[in-house]
Amino acid sequence: MNEVGAGQNEPGTPSVPRRNFCVAAIGALGSLIAAAMALPALMYLLLPPRLRGQGEWVEVGDISQLPAGAPAKMTFRRMRVDGWKVVSEDNTAWVVKPSNLQVLAFGPQCTHLGCAYHWDRTKDEFFCPCHNSLFAIDGKVIGGPARQPLHRYETRVEGNRLFVGRLTMSE
């Protein structure tokens, strides 16, 4: 059982090759087990869940009365997936018709730190009261600490009715 060979110190101690094998095996098996646990755990923790039911179009309202060049704040109800819940929420969008051919719908949050901005009629610009960011009617930054233009919803018009999809970062 216990071979007397090179590297053997005391009776009861295994031979070096045997010892090495045991050590290596412990290391290998241990690593395998650790990997088999760690990898799925990382995926579990870090990968986003499979989205469901997102990206549907929601009707915002009738834009036939919207004058060109004057944004209007429109609210609509939308379902949002939150973990295992689906929540029905009110969303807002600033809807503007720069020309009669185009409709833009901006997300309601300033791209600086997320405050609610509004349209200043006297100066024809979007103004955010938190840190004085300014945006033009097409969403571009014209002043203040914001770096990105206003986020836009995907839009679709059918007849007089406006539909919005996802909110995207503007290019």
Partner 1 sequence: MSPWARINDWLEHRTGISTAVRNLFCEEIPASSGWHQVFGSVALFLFLVQAFTGVLLAFNYAPSPGEAYNSLQYILTEVTAGRLMRGLHHWGASMLIVVVVLHMTQVFLFGAYKKPREATWMVGVILLLLTLAYGLTGYLLPWDNRAYWGTVVATNIAARAPLLGPYLTSLLGGKDSIGVVTFARFFALHVLLLPPATTLLIFFHIYLVRKHGVAPAPGDEYVPKKRFYPEQAFKDTLAIFVAFVILFIMAVVVRVPLERAADPTDTAYTPRPEWYFLFLFQTLKFFSGSLEVVGSLVLPGLAVLLLVLVPFIDRNQVMAVTRRTFALTFVALAAIGWTALTAAGVITTPKGANRATIDFSSPSDWLQLSPWKRYKSGYARFAQTRPDTKRLMADYSSDIDQIWIPDMNVVDRCTTCHQGISQSTLVEASVPQPYRAHPIVPHQVKEWGCVICHRGQGLATEVGEAHETTLAWEQPILPVSFIQGSCGTCHRAEIPQAPRLNRGRELLVRFNCVGCHRLPGLERPVMLGPDLTNIGTKVSREWLYKWLKEPRTIVDATGNVTVNGYETGDEPRMPKFRLSEQELKGLTAYLSSLRSTPVAPYKFDPRVVAAWEKKPDLVEQGEVRFRQMFCSTCHGLAVTRAGETKLIGGDIGPELTKVGSKVNPDWLLAWLRDPQSHLPHAQMPRYAWSDEDLYVVTQYITAKLVDPDLLSDVPKLGPPTAEEVQLGHRLFLEKGCVGCHTIEGVPSQKDFGPDLSNLGGKNVSQLEFGQTKIPRNLIAYIQAKLTDPVSVNPAARMPQYYLNSSDIGALTVALLSMSGPASASRMERLIVPRKEAALHPAAGRFGEVYERYKCYVCHQFNGYGGALAPDLSFEGSRARRSWIVEFLKNPQTLRPTLTFRMPQFNMTDEEAAVLADYLGKVFQSPAAHPVDERAFTPGMAAKGKQLYEVKYQCQSCHTIGLGGGYVGPNLSNVGNWMAAGWIEAWLRNPQALVPAAIEPRRAFTDDEIEALTAYLLTLRQTAKPVAAKGAGR
Q: Which of residues 25-44 bind partner 1 (CB under 8 A)?
A: 25-26, 29-30, 32-33, 36-37, 40-41, 43-44
How near is the Cβ of 29 to partner 1 at its closest, in Å? Answer: 4
Buried b (16+ CB within 10 A) or exposed e, 3-41: eeeeeeeeeeebeeeeeeeeeeeeeeeeeeeeeeeeeee
Instruction: Give the number of residues in contact with partner 1, rule: CB under 8 A.
Output: 31
Does residue 19 touch partner 1 according to CB under 8 A? yes
Q: Could you tell me if 137 and 69 are in contact, meaning their C-beta atoms sit under 8 angstroms apart?
A: yes
Q: Which residue from 3, 7, 23, 79 is in contact with partner 1, where contact means CB under 8 A?
A: 23
Minimum distance from residue 37 beta carbon to partner 1 (Å): 7
Q: Binder to partner 1 among 18, 118, 131, 156 (CB under 8 A)?
A: 18
Minimum distance of partner 1 from residue 119's CB (angstroms) = 35
Gap between the Cα atoms of 3 and 16, Å rounded: 10
